[in-house]
Structure 1
Amino acid sequence: MPYAIEQRVDPDVSAQQITLSSLESQYFDHLIPAIEDAGTGGKGQQLLQSLAHFSIEREAEIESICSTNRQGFASASSQLLLVSEQSRGLMADIHALSRSTQTSTETLAREKKVLVESRAVRQNIDEANEALRDCLEVLRLANQVYDLLGRKSHYSALRALDELQDVHLLKITKYKIADTIQNSIPDTKKLIADAVMTDLNTWLFRIRETSQLLGEVAFFHVEQRRARHKDRGEKLMSLGNFKLNSAVESVADEDEEFDILDNEILQIDFTPLFECMHIHDALGQREKFKVDYASTRRQQKDLLMPSSITLVDPEGSSLSGLLEGIAGFAIIEKSTMSKARGFRSLADVEELWDSMCQTAIALVSTALPEVTNAELLLKIKGIIALFIQTMTSYDYPVQKLDTFLLALFDKYAELLKRRFSDDFQEIVSTDDYMPMPIHKSDEYDKVVNVSWYTPEKPRQELRFPCILPFSQMYPLCCIDIRNFLNQFYFFSDDHFQHLKVIDDTLKASLDELLCGKVCQSLVDRLSTQYLGQIVQILINLEHFEIACQELEHLLIAARSDASASGAVVLKATEDFRNSKKTAEKRIFELVNSKIDDLIGTAEYDWMASTFETEPSNYMQTLTRYLSNIMNTVLLGLPTEIKELIYFDALSHAATMILSLPLSPDVKCINPNGVAALAQDVHYLTEFVATLNNPILRENLDELRQTVSLMQAENSDEFYDVATRNKKYGRVDAMNGPTLLEKLTSAVHTPAKPDKLTALSSRFGMKT
């Protein structure tokens, strides 16, 4: 451990320093350390001895000096005596002066006493003045508070009041005026609070009055954003896949700065609210102020909502005004939350928002039944969609509004179906059901563009006027179908989250319209007896089936929901296909009915005594009828349908002709009767041969083989299975014996051999 080295002081040196000190301060500076050292070290005696020794040395030195200067000393003594005498004279003067001074001092003392007393009075006066000044300052500050209130400087007034209470009143607490002012401070604070609340209520009233304008500006700004986003989407397709208010859209539009609360149209200053908050914070009434403010905003919300609105005004001002007011009110609430954090809770703001949304939905729902126009409803949807997009940008929940759009869409779909149902009904009922004539090329192009129709001939090979296979109702219905599609998808523009609902509803609506209003109406008209009209209906049904198939592909390509997959199958496609079969059956019925009527006029004399050389009148009429309908009425039908109708007609004719000899009324048939029947069958066969269709000719095989069997020399061949399969394979196993029985039981009346032989060779039959 380090230790201190004691510094020792030499007593002789200390004594010399003490005696040589010229100043009193130096004398004590050397004396005090020497005494302290002598006392602590036990060397006091040494110090005294050093001082005595030093004194002896100095006396010896003085004696030495005096002995060497005696004459001078004597002279000095004389002078000293003279000085002494003079000093006594001076002492007498001094005593006299002292007495005079004493007298003056007594006088001065008396005057001083008077002065002291006057100073005490003066001090009291000064203290009184100072107190008065302090009181006046307090009164000035108190008056200043009211002056500031008069100038509506509420926060400055409160700060001045705090300064008055915390600083200046403390200086005059011993005066009664301090208590008076102190007691008035709570009333003054209440006065400040009331004044600032009055200003705040005025501000809130102005805010409520400008809420609709604020909402209108917000709507306008969102419309501009929407237009900019659309332009960007057209220039860059990838941006078109993102919706408004998405992160990508927000980044792309960040260069367009716009302050909704401070722009060239309106400026909203929150200073009154902030001042009121600060004052209530200073008054310790923040929670009470929050409750009062929330209550006031709820009351303003109730005043903002009307008792009813109308949706049928052309400009939509009633609905727009309602939603603009709600938007402005909600924007103020969000701005208040962001500017005054902790003042408005998210729960309170969303409670107001939810209440306003519910009220708005209720008002619109109440007024919705008066809307009977789809375009007006689409405009209403556009206003609500703009409102939703605007409030989404302020992070308000819009699920209830999105759900309400579904109700609007249902109403919209119903109005569209009702309107187009009437249109389809009118088109179907007023159609002439004749092939559509086209007189000009531009008219042809319009029909082809709107219809799902593929012409058989190229455009350049057509000559006008020309005839299209379908009637006028088909392109008119195609136009309505396309308009129906477009107007359905109009609802998905701007904002609609339920895209799959549009696709499903559109499909169901198309099925309902096409099946119920077009297909069923055409089927109902099949009851007519006019074959040409039924044929035209069949042709229209054929084209409607094709249109439905094309429509299915179009619906897949036009899906609103990009995530949807799979085929779209319209029930109408199958309905038109089945209705085609119904129309075909109806044509079969009419043709067969006509055939029945013609064959019903047949007058065969089965026991004729002579041989007819000409075909029967009914057969000539029948073939002429079949030829006429094929070349006129059925000309526009597709080839396969025409062949099917001809096949069925010929099959029916053959069956009916064959039923003539099989009739229970025919008991016997002679060869002349068979020859007459064979002549008609041959005439019919030659007519079918002119059609150049082997399948149609095969349709008469049973009839021809049955007649050949009736003319056979050896009818027993029919009963030989091998021979029958070879020569009479198409003859019914029951009809053959029946006819042979009628033939064999007949009483033969032979004709003239030469004439019978000639007829037999003409028709290729054996006699």
Structure 2
Amino acid sequence: MPGLIADQYDDLTGAVQQIILSSSESDYLDQLIPLLKNAQASTQVTPLIHALNHVTADREAEIERICNNNHQEFISSVQHLQTVREGTVKLTSEIMELSLSIEASTEKLAEQKKALVDSRGVRQNIDDATQALKDCLEVLRLANQVHDLLGKKNHYAALRALDELQNVHLREVTRYKIAEMIERSVPATHRLIAEAVMTDLNTWLYRIRETSQFLGEVAFYHTEMRRNRQRDRAQQDEYLGSFKLNSAIELVADEGEEFDVLNNDEVQVDFSPLFECMHIHDALGQTDKFRADYAATRRRQKDLLIPQALDLLDEEANGLSSLLEGIAGFAIVEKATMAKTTALRAQPDVDELWDSMCQSAISLISAALPRIDNAEKLLKIKGVIALFIQTMDSWHYSVQALDALLLTLFAKYSELLKKRYSDDLAEVVAEDDYMPMPVPNAAEYNKVLALTWYTPPPSEQADPEAIEYPCILPFSQMYPLVCIDIRNLINQTYLFADDHFRHTSVVDGTLHRDLDDLLVQRVCLALIDRLRSQYPGQVVQILTNLEHFERACTDLEHLLVEARSSTSAAGPITLRATKAFKEAKEHAERRIFELVNSKIDDLIDTAEYDWLSTWVPREVSPYMTELTRYLANIMSSVLVGLPEGVKDTLYFSALAFIGDALLRLPLDEGVVRITRQAARAWVMDAGHLVEFVQGLDEEHGPERLLGGLEELRQMGDLMGLAVEGEGDVFFDSSVRGVRFGRVDKLKGAELLEKVERKGVGGGGGGRSPLLAVGVGTGAEEGGRKGVANTFGDFRDRFGPFGKRDRS
């Protein structure tokens, strides 16, 4: 165990030595930490403490040894220092004595120097007083000169003199009271100069405000002269006519006509007072204050330009012209001021004033617009505004708000035009006599051709001189009157787009819409409403007018394409009115057919056939005579004005309707039996109708019209054969295909069954021919019962052969 403790003590002693030799506290800790970590018990810490105490004792012994060896040398050094201190005290007393001796001699010399300085000062004071008096007199002279120049309105010279006084002469007398007094008066003098120059500027601004309207009038006149020159150039060169006012080409072409709106024979605007005021305030360091005051003054002057209300009902639009001329003059001065000065008027400030004036003018105009009910007056107003826009556009002001105002004006203008022509067209349609229009002479005839879209017949086009007057035109007088209104509407609408109107597509679209509305609502629908008339002649005239209006709409579409003001638009223009007139024409045709067929139906309803009669008539029935007379009348008078195609169709349709109606008479379900005498009467009437058609003039095309009566003619032929007892040939397919090809098999069989055959009495007995052709039930028994049953079956399947449904 002693050996183990000794070894531990030696190890701790080495570690303690390393700790002592450590260069820093961190190294000390680095050496100490492992020892502490290795300590497992308090018994192992104790040797560490003993080791540290041992090292400490060794060091104290070493220090004591060193001190004992050097004690004598330390005592000798202390004695030497005491000797040196005693010598120092002695030298200090000698220096004090020498200083007192030098001080005594210096006081004597100072007294002599003071006497010399006092004598020289008196003489210098006299010289200084003399010079100061001269300097003060010069300063006073300059101060008086400043006020003299100010009184003579030489503001800038006065400012220069005051600046020279303050920065040069006043600095030479700053030690005198007069300098302080004049220095205190300098700001007041500056204010006097600033107020004087502002007074002159306000006078100039007042004159500018009074001149603004005249300046705007001169600018308007110059713009009007530019318009005229551009029109002259457009007449000489079509290419130049495609360029608007203020375009680059127009400006280059007009360079030879130089004109200064601000300096000419009529008006001169001198900006010298403004320049002087700016320069003086700049010299005074009050540029920002002057800029603010000038801007406030111009805003107040702007407000004085705008009236409380505007009267647009003046015939010459003087109130509007005065307002816009004043705004134009004010804005031109602002733009010129900005161009002639630097930093006085900023572009946003000028634009703000311009926008404010424009909005005020637009508000006044918009408020006065509802009272205007005349399109011509509105056109004058638009002309003044357009002149204003073109003038200000040349000064590079924004005119978008004014262009929007023109859109509002155009909407009002087109509304007034539409109302006017709507009333005119309604009156024209209502007052028309619906008779073909007579033309008394060639002048009137040419006038009608020029104003309408009427194309004369080829014969009249080939030789106009061969026309005999008075001549009758196919349409009624409403047609040229409507054409005149339409042309006037087009001209007056595009008149709004002259000079200046950038929304040309709006003009085209509005005109297209208005034309459609007027033609459809006021003309087409009004004519359709009049088709309820019971007079065929009036309906025929309406149909003729509708056909000419349809052609006119087609020509009008081409005219609108050529007159289109928008260069960006392309493609054809289609009017709804074209289709509306076409449909109305078809309606009119149906109405004519309806009237004619109704009359025919009424006449046929008067037919009084006694199908069981035994009396043979010697002449045509009265209803047939009246019917052919009616056909002759409408062909020669009432329907003569119809277009050839419609006329032919109507004739053919009427005859086909008559033939169908006549066929329904003997085939009626109520007719059970027809005597030979009654059959001959019906055949005579049908033959009379065929003869009437055959006797028509060639211009009516009787051969073609007979086609509509072919079934009736063949049925009459068949009935005649039935009366003679030869009706059986109908059932011979080879004969039927040649002679009775248009006769329906069932109708022919029914008619043969009803007509009494020659030599057969009572209408009964005998074998039914219907069974011979295999169209029955197949039974071999004869008599009327089998035939009736057969036709009953067919009626059940295909319906009765009754009268034609008039609906």
Structure 1: tracts of 5 or more residues without a match: 1-118, 751-767
The answer to whether residue 198 in structure 2 is matched with residue 197 in structure 1 is: yes
The answer to whether residue 547 in structure 2 is matched with residue 539 in structure 1 is: no
Q: Please report how far the alpha carbon of residue 352 of structure 1 lies from its aligned counterpart in structure 2 after TM superposition.
A: 1.2
2:753 counterpart letter in structure 1: E
Q: Please report how far the alpha carbon of residue 593 of structure 1 lies from its aligned counterpart in structure 2 after TM superposition.
A: 1.3
**Paired residue for 1:736?**
748
Change (3 A) 1:398 1:746: farther
C-alpha distance in 1 between matches for 2:690 and 2:338: 97
CA contact (8 A) 2:218 2:261 kept: yes
CA contact (8 A) 1:685 1:697 kept: yes
CA contact (8 A) 2:693 2:706 kept: yes
Alignment equivalent of 1:696, drawn from 694, 705, 708: 705
**Paired residue for 1:595?**
600
CA contact (8 A) 2:683 2:719 kept: no
**Paired residue for 1:682?**
687
Secondary structure of the residue aligned to 1:699 is helix
CA contact (8 A) 1:330 1:353 kept: yes
Q: Please report how far the alpha carbon of residue 126 of structure 1 lies from its aligned counterpart in structure 2 after TM superposition.
A: 7.2
C-alpha distance in 2 between matches for 1:349 and 1:741: 106
Change (3 A) 1:734 1:197: farther
Secondary structure of the residue aligned to 2:263 is coil
C-alpha distance in 1 between matches for 2:750 and 2:360: 88
C-alpha distance in 2 between matches for 1:419 and 1:747: 80
CA contact (8 A) 2:435 2:475 kept: yes
CA contact (8 A) 1:611 1:672 kept: yes
Aligned-residue CA RMSD (Å): 2.3
**Paired residue for 1:356?**
357
C-alpha distance in 2 between matches for 1:720 and 1:167: 146
Alignment equivalent of 1:496, drawn from 501, 514, 531: 501
C-alpha distance in 1 between matches for 2:692 and 2:164: 126
Map 1:648-727; keep pairs closer than 5 Å. 648-691=653-696, 692=698, 693=701, 694-712=703-721, 713-716=725-728, 718=730, 724-727=736-739
**Paired residue for 2:487?**
482
C-alpha distance in 2 between matches for 1:205 and 1:398: 27
C-alpha distance in 2 between matches for 1:288 and 1:662: 113
**Paired residue for 1:282?**
283
1:467 counterpart letter in structure 2: I
C-alpha distance in 1 between matches for 2:759 and 2:331: 110
> Matched residues, percent identical?
59
Q: Please report how far the alpha carbon of residue 205 of structure 1 lies from its aligned counterpart in structure 2 after TM superposition.
A: 2.2
Could you list the per-position Cα deviations for residues 129-178 of structure 1 after superposition, in whole angstroms to 9, with x for gaps in the alignment? 55334323222222222222223222222111111101111222222101
CA contact (8 A) 1:434 1:533 kept: yes
Moved beyond 6 Å, runs of 4+: 119-126
CA contact (8 A) 1:668 1:745 kept: no
C-alpha distance in 2 between matches for 1:185 and 1:208: 34
C-alpha distance in 2 between matches for 1:204 and 1:388: 25
Map 1:174-185; keep pairs closer than 5 Å. 174-185=175-186
Change (3 A) 1:705 1:276: same
Q: Please report how far the alpha carbon of residue 646 of structure 1 lies from its aligned counterpart in structure 2 after TM superposition.
A: 0.7
Structure 2: tracts of 5 or more residues without a match: 1-119, 763-807
Could you list the per-position Cα deviations for residues 204-257 of structure 1 after superposition, in whole angstroms to 9, with x for gaps in the alignment? 222222211111111111001111111111112221111111111111111111
Change (3 A) 1:156 1:719: farther
C-alpha distance in 2 between matches for 1:707 and 1:287: 115
Deviates more, 1:269-278 or 1:177-186: 269-278
The answer to whether residue 582 in structure 2 is matched with residue 577 in structure 1 is: yes
Q: Please report how far the alpha carbon of residue 475 of structure 1 lies from its aligned counterpart in structure 2 after TM superposition.
A: 1.1
1:710 counterpart letter in structure 2: M
C-alpha distance in 1 between matches for 2:729 and 2:408: 80
C-alpha distance in 2 between matches for 1:727 and 1:493: 74
Change (3 A) 1:685 1:217: same
CA contact (8 A) 1:717 1:724 kept: yes
Could you list the per-position Cα deviations for residues 298-317 of structure 1 after superposition, in whole angstroms to 9, with x for gaps in the alignment? 22222211121011110101
Aligned residues: 634
C-alpha distance in 2 between matches for 1:745 and 1:462: 62
**Paired residue for 1:375?**
376
1:282 counterpart letter in structure 2: A
C-alpha distance in 2 between matches for 1:740 and 1:342: 115
C-alpha distance in 1 between matches for 2:196 and 2:328: 30
Secondary structure of the residue aligned to 1:437 is strand
C-alpha distance in 2 between matches for 1:342 and 1:645: 87
Secondary structure of the residue aligned to 1:662 is coil
C-alpha distance in 1 between matches for 2:257 and 2:611: 102
Q: Please report how far the alpha carbon of residue 123 of structure 1 lies from its aligned counterpart in structure 2 after TM superposition.
A: 9.0
C-alpha distance in 2 between matches for 1:124 and 1:700: 153
C-alpha distance in 2 between matches for 1:719 and 1:399: 89
1:210 counterpart letter in structure 2: T
Map 1:242-321; keep pairs closer than 5 Å. 242-321=243-322
The answer to whether residue 147 in structure 2 is matched with residue 146 in structure 1 is: yes
C-alpha distance in 2 between matches for 1:314 and 1:672: 88
Secondary structure of the residue aligned to 2:549 is helix
C-alpha distance in 1 between matches for 2:673 and 2:130: 162
C-alpha distance in 2 between matches for 1:603 and 1:749: 24
CA contact (8 A) 2:216 2:329 kept: yes
2:451 counterpart letter in structure 1: V
CA contact (8 A) 1:668 1:746 kept: no
C-alpha distance in 2 between matches for 1:528 and 1:746: 50
Q: Please report how far the alpha carbon of residue 318 of structure 1 lies from its aligned counterpart in structure 2 after TM superposition.
A: 1.2
Map 1:111-190; keep pairs closer than 5 Å. 128=129, 130-190=131-191
**Paired residue for 2:633?**
628
**Paired residue for 1:322?**
323
CA contact (8 A) 1:609 1:749 kept: no
C-alpha distance in 2 between matches for 1:618 and 1:748: 31
**Paired residue for 1:334?**
335
Change (3 A) 1:198 1:660: same
**Paired residue for 2:101?**
none
C-alpha distance in 1 between matches for 2:551 and 2:488: 18
Q: Please report how far the alpha carbon of residue 719 of structure 1 lies from its aligned counterpart in structure 2 after TM superposition.
A: 5.2
C-alpha distance in 2 between matches for 1:139 and 1:748: 162
Q: Please report how far the alpha carbon of residue 413 of structure 1 lies from its aligned counterpart in structure 2 after TM superposition.
A: 0.7
**Paired residue for 1:93?**
none
Q: Please report how far the alpha carbon of residue 374 of structure 1 lies from its aligned counterpart in structure 2 after TM superposition.
A: 0.6
CA contact (8 A) 1:671 1:748 kept: no
Secondary structure of the residue aligned to 2:666 is helix
C-alpha distance in 2 between matches for 1:387 and 1:733: 87
- Tell me the TM-score normalised to structure 1 length: 0.79
Q: Please report how far the alpha carbon of residue 715 of structure 1 lies from its aligned counterpart in structure 2 after TM superposition.
A: 4.0
Map 1:740-759; keep pairs closer than 5 Å. 740-743=752-755
**Paired residue for 1:506?**
511
Could you list the per-position Cα deviations for residues 451-482 of structure 1 after superposition, in whole angstroms to 9, with x for gaps in the alignment? 11122223111111111111111111111111
- Tell me the TM-score normalised to structure 2 length: 0.75
CA contact (8 A) 2:436 2:476 kept: yes
